[in-house]
Structure 1
Amino acid sequence: MKKRLNPKNDYLFKRLFGETDSKPLLIGLLNAILRRTDRAAIADLTILDGKLLTKRLVEDKEGVLDIRCETADREQINVEMQVGRYRHMEKRSLFYMGRLLADSIREGEDYSQLKKTICINILDFAFLPLTHFHHSFQLYEDMERQYRLTDLIELHFIECPKFRAGPYRREDPLHRWLRFLDERTTPEQLEELIEMDPTIRNAEERLSHLSEDDMTRMLYEAREKAQRDRISFIKDAREEGWEEGREAGIVEVARRMLNEGADVALVSRLTGMPTESVRTLAEQNER
């Protein structure tokens, strides 16, 4: 048997939960995240935007492989798995939510036709300066916090590292799903999940089936490489920006030293700048 693939790879996550025949798995995951049980539970949904996952799309470092669905009660839900950190994640999520909300009504319909929009971000990095691993945000009044203006928008952030660092509660469906998604989960822990939860058993069977498919593994590896390349690009850009900022700072120090009457040799020795560069800077100051 081939090695179990990482379910948090966003390509594989979309294959696991974002296809028509995996609808029961997505319903199980969403009910766990949204704490829906009994009559409030999601019973049926339609998976939208089932675009073909081509190699070109998978290799796009900035491409978003999210899952969008609509429940039988006309709620639209978007689920996104994020392994790599994005700056301004909250603004990015709000922008995307606004676009989904605006697209939920057709031209000519009035605002009463707006559909409730729920955006769920599952993050493989720490994001919020809060201790718990799952936070949801809605529109509540500042002074009277029990008053909610509307339930039309709901924004969730789930931070996997914080989940791993906290206590595990096997009776909690969300805890079970997050342990299933964790690539560090042991075979013994997986066996316990499979025995406890039939839906997770089906999810693990689907994951195993996908892991045995050569094309799936190829696209999985392509997505892993695209994400590594993105992280490397960001790291290089930051280091380059830091170096440019450092050089600019040295030049500014040299300029001030020259303005204070220091000679070229002294400025060169203390800043490490080449003598000719300091001399050129001195000439510019004299103009």
Structure 2
Amino acid sequence: MDFYLIHFHLSLLSLFSLDNIPSIIYLNYFSHDRYHSSHHVRDDINQSILTNDLEMHFIELKKFKFSDIKKLKRADTWIAYFSSKCTDEERKIIAMTNPAIKEALNYEMMFSQDEVKRREYELQEKAIRDYNATMLYNRKEGKQEGKQEEKYENAVRGLKNNISLDAISTITGLTIEQLKEIQKTLL
């Protein structure tokens, strides 16, 4: 578990600062100034909590501000540790006050010094970037194919309704030659 948390933290720090992470789900629901809020699942009628085993915590890092590292509450130290605003020196200070963070920092340092683990990590990151780039390319290709199919279907509809080739060409963006080829397939 520790390895994956450190891996996640390193991957975020290596790719971009946390301020620039693209939102996957963005809720502009919290109008308060707090950076951390927790929520529970409740019954709509009697307001009883469904289970104590499920809490949702929302942390808005952009709202998180710290001035004195030594005065942070225990939960805040973790937020500071993962914040891009926290320097390596400040992480070391936080680690002195929180044994769990000290252990995480030690794992992080050990991980970053282990060439085999670091190479595995880099290969995994490359695979993720390649996958994302391929998906983006395929999505764009699919949209382009869909647009071409739509042009073809509109052209076929126009030809079947005896609309002039010039009008169909203007509407679809297909050339007269392309329309004549499509017309041959309809005969």
- TM-score, length basis structure 2: 0.66
The residue number in structure 1 matching 2:180 is 279
Deviations 1:166-213 (A, max 9, x none): 123563433322332345632343244234423312321221111111
Whole-angstrom CA distance in 1 between matches of 2:102 and 2:132? 33
The residue number in structure 2 matching 1:167 is 64
1:282 Cα deviation (Å)? Answer: 3.3
8 A contact 2:159–2:183 mirrored in 1: yes
Deviations 1:94-152 (A, max 9, x none): xxxxxxxxxxxxxxxxxxxxxxxxxxxxx9844253445666553x32233x2234x27
Task: Name which of structure 1's ranges 213-222 and 261-270 shifts more when overlaid on structure 2.
Answer: 261-270
Whole-angstrom CA distance in 2 between matches of 1:276 and 1:135? 63
Q: 1:172 to 1:277 in 2, by over 3 A?
A: farther
The residue number in structure 2 matching 1:227 is 128
2:54 counterpart SS class:
strand
Deviations 1:36-95 (A, max 9, x none): xxxxxxxxxxxxxxxxxxxxxxxxxxxxx9xxxxxxxxxxxxxxxx97xxxxxxxxxxxx
The residue number in structure 1 matching 2:138 is 237
Q: 1:157 to 1:222 in 2, by over 3 A?
A: farther
Q: Name which of 5, 10, 25 aligns with 1:127.
A: 25
2:91 counterpart SS class:
helix
Whole-angstrom CA distance in 2 between matches of 1:189 and 1:223? 29
2:77 counterpart SS class:
helix
2:44 counterpart SS class:
coil
Structure 2 residue 44 is the aligned partner of structure 1 residue 142: yes
Residue correspondences, number: 168
Whole-angstrom CA distance in 1 between matches of 2:23 and 2:92? 26
Q: Name which of 86, 91, 95 aligns with 1:190.
A: 91
The 5 A counterparts of 1:45-124 are none
- The alignment-based identity, stated in percent, is 20
Higher helix share: 2
Q: Please say which structure displays the higher CA radius of gyration.
A: 2
Whole-angstrom CA distance in 2 between matches of 1:275 and 1:124? 44
The residue number in structure 2 matching 1:39 is none
1:257 Cα deviation (Å)? Answer: 3.3
1:263 Cα deviation (Å)? Answer: 2.0
8 A contact 1:12–1:220 mirrored in 2: no
Structure 1 residues without counterparts, runs of 5 or longer:
1-10, 18-64, 66-81, 84-122
Aligned-pair RMSD on alpha carbons? Answer: 3.7
Structure 2 residue 59 is the aligned partner of structure 1 residue 154: no
Q: 1:226 to 1:249 in 2, by over 3 A?
A: same
Structure 2 residue 149 is the aligned partner of structure 1 residue 248: yes
Whole-angstrom CA distance in 2 between matches of 1:155 and 1:173? 18
8 A contact 2:2–2:107 mirrored in 1: no
Whole-angstrom CA distance in 2 between matches of 1:199 and 1:254? 66
